[in-house]
Amino acid sequence: MSLSILAIDDSRTMRDLLRSALEEVGFSVTTAENGADGVGKLDSAAPDVIITDINMPVMDGFGVIEAVRRSNGAGSIPILVLSTESGEDLKDRARVLGATGWIVKPFDDQRLISAIRRVARV
């Protein structure tokens, strides 16, 4: 099963790591360098799962979650937060806004792939 992933992170290194890990198992990956870029690519990427960082310029991950949940057609796409942050208050805020899960960086490739497969609705 080939899944389409939209990976949003302001770090080029993190985007490259995500692309490498996910394409290796056959996922199609579109990357975005901040939340606004990611939301702008939502329609063209048609992702099965969105992965977003929290701390980014222009639009942070909370803004991404809000924008996706308000959008027509994309509102039910699973959103995994991938962040160095691990505070319960941040996790709670993301959950209330509609995040599906939270993974702390640095990520383990197999755990991330497993989480993606678990939340994907295809």
Burial of residue 93 (CB within 10 Å: 0-12, 13-18, 19+) is middle
Q: Which domain holds residue 25?
A: 4-120
Q: In what order do the strands lie in the sheet with 28-32?
A: 28-32, 4-8, 49-52, 79-83, 101-104
- Local structure of residue 23 (DSSP, 8 states): H
Beta-carbon count within 10 A of 59 CB = 19
d(CA 84, CA 119): 21
Q: What is the reported pLDDT for 122?
A: 58
Tally of residues, the chain: 122
Q: What is the reported pLDDT for 1?
A: 60
Q: pLDDT tens string for the chain (122 positions)?
A: 689 999 999 999 999 999 999 999 999 999 999 999 999 999 999 999 999 999 999 999 999 999 999 988 888 999 999 999 999 999 999 999 999 999 999 999 999 999 999 999 65
Q: How many structural domains are present in the chain?
A: 1
- What pTM was computed for the model? 0.96
Give the H or E element holding residue 43: helix 42-45
What is the distance in angstroms between the CA of the first residue and the CA of the last residue of the chain? 9
Query: What CATH number has the domain bearing residue 53?
Result: 3.40.50.2300
Structure tokens at 59: 């639009």
